[in-house]
Chains A and B, each alone.
Chain A
Amino acid sequence: MTLTAERTHRPAAGHRGGGRGGGWQRRETLMLMLPALVPVLVFSVGPLLYGIFLAFTDARSGRNAVTSFVGLSNFGDLLADGDFWASFRIGLVWAVSVTVLQFLASLGLALLLNENLRFRSFARVLALVPWAMPPVVIGLMWRLVYHPNAGILNSVLQDAGLLDHNVDWLNDFSLALPAVIVVGIWTGMPQTTVVLLAGLQNVPKELHEAGHMDGASTFRRFWSITLPQLRPVIVTITSLDFVWNINQFGLVYVLTQGGPGGQTRLPMLFAYEEAFRYGFFGYAATLGVAFVIVVLALLSIYIGRQMREAN
């Protein structure tokens, strides 16, 4: 949505720079932009502002609930809420491990698909399959995979002699989060792979040839040529993945609903429960706003440092 907003703004700025007879032309431009702006304002900016407004109130569900302005007290409660911090920690573990592992796995896959293999185009299509599935379907599918009695994972591991009893992956206190992270990695791999593959195809062949001539090993060429060339792509895709992952909801909601005992309660699930299960709309909105701030802060540190290093 932000992208669309920027794109629609840019022509306006251009016209303003265009100078002469500006007033009439500007109005005309505004009129032309209106159809594109209205949905953005109504469906994106509006709810966002409303959400920010709610964060400063004690809005609760109920026909006889009275909403009043409470200033920053929701934020105070949030900072003192142990459940929020637990959820925040789980969210960070989830987002960082999914993003990093997903990146490594995708890089491997992209390098492989970039080689001149037989059936390459077929393999490339196959790699895209998870992308075509909605998160809910993925969640249902993996729930079957992890099923304690009928799941394929338990039966494969037992046939291979690695397990001697059925494991209830999604209900075990210590296994649930890792199990969900694996699904997260699997789900996000296609996007990351495709972007990295596109990046790889833009690395000039001459550089590799030159490196080869100078006697650089394969690993050396990868480390000193491919990686630096890929850097902007890597920064972009990992930041996007991170934002995507930390805001993940549907997948985990279907897989575990935040269980067992809150071990997979990602921040967005926490906010959802606060709002729709317990009815504290104001507090849930505060959580959302706090999260926007956290994500923006983390991203600006990360991207800022990458930019500085690149320069």
Chain B
Amino acid sequence: MRTRTALAVAAAAIVALTAGCSSGGGGAGGDKADGPVSLKFLSLAWQKESIAANKQIVDEWNKANPNIKVEYVQGSWDNVNDQLVTSFEAGDPPDVIHDDSPALAGFASRGYLLDLTGKLPAELTGDIPKPAWDTVTFGDGKGGQGVYGVPFLQESQVLIGNKKLLDAAKVRIPTPDNPWTWDEFAEISKKLTKEGSFGVAWPLKSPVNKVLNLALNFGGTFFQVDGTKATVKVGPEEQEVMRRIHDQLYKDKSADPSALGMGTADPLPGFYAGKYALLPAGVYLRQQVVEQAPKDFEWITVPPLKGTSAEQGATSQTLSVAADSKYPDQAAKFISFFLNSANQAKLAKGDWLLPTSVKAASDPSMTTTENGWDVATASAKNLVVAPYLKVNGFDEWKSKVATPTLQQYFADKITLDQAAKTLVEEGNKVLERYNN
């Protein structure tokens, strides 16, 4: 028994030693680009077309670059951030990481991600406009700023409309150059409301991002950022969109209250059945409408609404490199290939989202009138960086304070003033932990 234990201990020691050696060796090899290396790519693609597009691009890369082998690892949006924290802390994260900009802010300030400044070719950096780069530029937690990912897919909020009902009510069909204002939208929703059917359905199970992104229509930012210190602000600008949605539900009665607890895609069956004429949604929802709607169902994509402006808060899906990656240069090279304009068009099509690449956005498949692509792609010009992206602790504010408060406000359990007060007071308490 004693010998066996001794043997086991020795074996464990050897394993530990060799592991140490190999990682040391790998670090040195990272500087030379010639040795064959292998990278792990954590992808969060989940729609069938999108997974296929991802895998196809990885295969193309592997064929063209036998020395930098990329291994596709499937992840899921549900738990990716927990999974990443664990693997970052353990020091063995995937090299190339697919995520979104709200998550990057926190990871960047904790030093988990590599600053990509100067590591990307001009061809890629020039192809993506500045507002998109703003969604991935964050403080590094030590007073500096860096670019912690490459933004590649963005989502804008549009409305999907039942064409027959809109035509029957003889409402003006808006265009990207002449969109509905919020006032017009309220009038039209009232007009579309008849017995047993509503003008609009607001699925607000996860209300926070939707409300905050739309609040920019009236200049509502929800946060004041002073250096690294952020405080919550809910003034008249912020309350405008909240109040207008609430009015549709309880004053105009043009929005179906039973849709409130639904997730974005849940009202679709009722929408096909004509129960609601308009459905506010991200552009990606068009995919489900195309796939599931009955054959004779006619629909249109309504461009984003306009308040004092048509600006919407945007976040991006991103590819980043882990700070602990042994082959950062190879990883950046892979990202540059993966997100070139041709590939971005493929990925955007697969996910029914908007590419950040200017060249990809002018691809014929992105501007066709079919399935509302022209309206969707045109809406990209309204996207500006969402102010909450720069707020440390936003995630905790969102889940502990904002989600329950907004849910209660839209369920008419508390007044607008009470909601605003809670969002600010409870919210600032949460943010305090992050502000030092």
Given the complex, which residues of A lie within 8 Å of B205, measured CB to CB?
Answer: 171
B106 contacts the other chain (CB 8 A): yes
Q: Could you tell me if B1 and A278 are in contact, using CB atoms closer than 8 angstroms?
A: no
Q: Could you tell me if A277 and B112 are in contact, using CB atoms closer than 8 angstroms?
A: no
Q: Which of A32, A171, A276, A279 contacts B110 (CB 8 A)?
A: A279
A79-99 CB mask vs B (1 if < 8 Å, else 0) is 000010000000000000000
Given the complex, which residues of B lie within 8 Å of A260, measured CB to CB?
Answer: 404, 407
Instruction: List residues of A (172-192) whose CB comes within 8 Å of B's CBs.
Output: 172-173
- Give the size range of B's interface with the partner: 20 to 34
B395 contacts the other chain (CB 8 A): yes
B63-106 CB mask vs A (1 if < 8 Å, else 0) is 00000000000000000011001101100000000000000001
Q: Could you tell me if A278 and B396 are in contact, using CB atoms closer than 8 angstroms?
A: yes
A83-B400 contact in complex given A35-B1, A62-B112, A276-B86, C-beta closer than 8 Å:
yes
B375-412 CB mask vs A (1 if < 8 Å, else 0) is 00000000000000000010110011001100110000
Q: Which of B111, B400, B408 contacts A262 (CB 8 A)?
A: B400
B323 contacts the other chain (CB 8 A): yes
A65 contacts the other chain (CB 8 A): yes
Q: Could you tell me if A65 and B400 are in contact, using CB atoms closer than 8 angstroms?
A: no
A61 contacts the other chain (CB 8 A): yes
Give the interface centre of A31, A62, A173, A280 by most chain B CB atoms within 10 Å.
A62
Give the interface centre of B258, B399, B404 by most chain A CB atoms within 10 Å.
B399
Measured CA separation A260–B261 after assembly (Å): 10
Q: Could you tell me if B85 and A35 are in contact, using CB atoms closer than 8 angstroms?
A: no
Q: Could you tell me if A277 and B89 are in contact, using CB atoms closer than 8 angstroms?
A: no
Given the complex, which residues of A lie within 8 Å of B109, measured CB to CB?
Answer: 62
A276-B261 contact in complex given A63-B323, A64-B110, A261-B403, C-beta closer than 8 Å:
no
B5 contacts the other chain (CB 8 A): yes
Instruction: List residues of B (131-151) whose CB comes within 8 Å of A's CBs.
Output: 141-142
Measured CA separation A48–B137 after assembly (Å): 39
Given the complex, which residues of A lie within 8 Å of B48, measured CB to CB?
Answer: none
A65-B258 contact in complex given A35-B1, A262-B404, A277-B81, C-beta closer than 8 Å:
no
Q: Which of B85, B403, B408 contacts A276 (CB 8 A)?
A: B85
A63-B111 contact in complex given A35-B5, A276-B85, C-beta closer than 8 Å:
yes
Given the complex, which residues of B lie within 8 Å of A168, measured CB to CB?
Answer: 261
A26-51 CB mask vs B (1 if < 8 Å, else 0) is 00000110110010000000000000
Q: Could you tell me if B141 and A278 are in contact, using CB atoms closer than 8 angstroms?
A: no
A62-B1 contact in complex given A262-B404, A276-B82, A277-B81, C-beta closer than 8 Å:
no
B295 contacts the other chain (CB 8 A): no
Q: Could you tell me if A61 and B395 are in contact, using CB atoms closer than 8 angstroms?
A: no
User: Nearest A residue to B141 by beta-carbon distance?
Assistant: A64
Q: Could you tell me if A64 and B5 are in contact, using CB atoms closer than 8 angstroms?
A: no
- The minimal Cβ–Cβ distance linking A95 to chain B, given in whole angstroms, is 22
- The minimal Cβ–Cβ distance linking A78 to chain B, given in whole angstroms, is 13
B2 contacts the other chain (CB 8 A): yes
User: Nearest B residue to A274 by beta-carbon distance?
Assistant: B396
A136-172 CB mask vs B (1 if < 8 Å, else 0) is 0000000000001100000000000000010010011
Q: Could you tell me if A261 and B82 are in contact, using CB atoms closer than 8 angstroms?
A: no
User: Nearest A residue to B85 by beta-carbon distance?
Assistant: A276
B234-261 CB mask vs A (1 if < 8 Å, else 0) is 0000000000000000000000001001
Given the complex, which residues of A lie within 8 Å of B5, measured CB to CB?
Answer: 34-35, 38
Given the complex, which residues of A lie within 8 Å of B400, measured CB to CB?
Answer: 83, 262
A56-79 CB mask vs B (1 if < 8 Å, else 0) is 000011111100000000000000
Given the complex, which residues of B lie within 8 Å of A38, measured CB to CB?
Answer: 5
Measured CA separation A31–B3 after assembly (Å): 11
Q: List 11 A-B contacts (CB under 8 A).
A: A31-B2, A32-B1, A34-B5, A61-B89, A63-B112, A64-B111, A261-B404, A262-B399, A277-B85, A277-B399, A279-B85
Residues of A within 8 A of B (CB): 31-32, 34-35, 38, 60-65, 83, 148-149, 165, 168, 171-173, 260-262, 273, 276-280
Known: A63-B323, A261-B408, A280-B433. 7 other contacts (CB 8 A): A61-B85, A61-B88, A62-B141, A168-B261, A277-B81, A278-B395, A279-B110
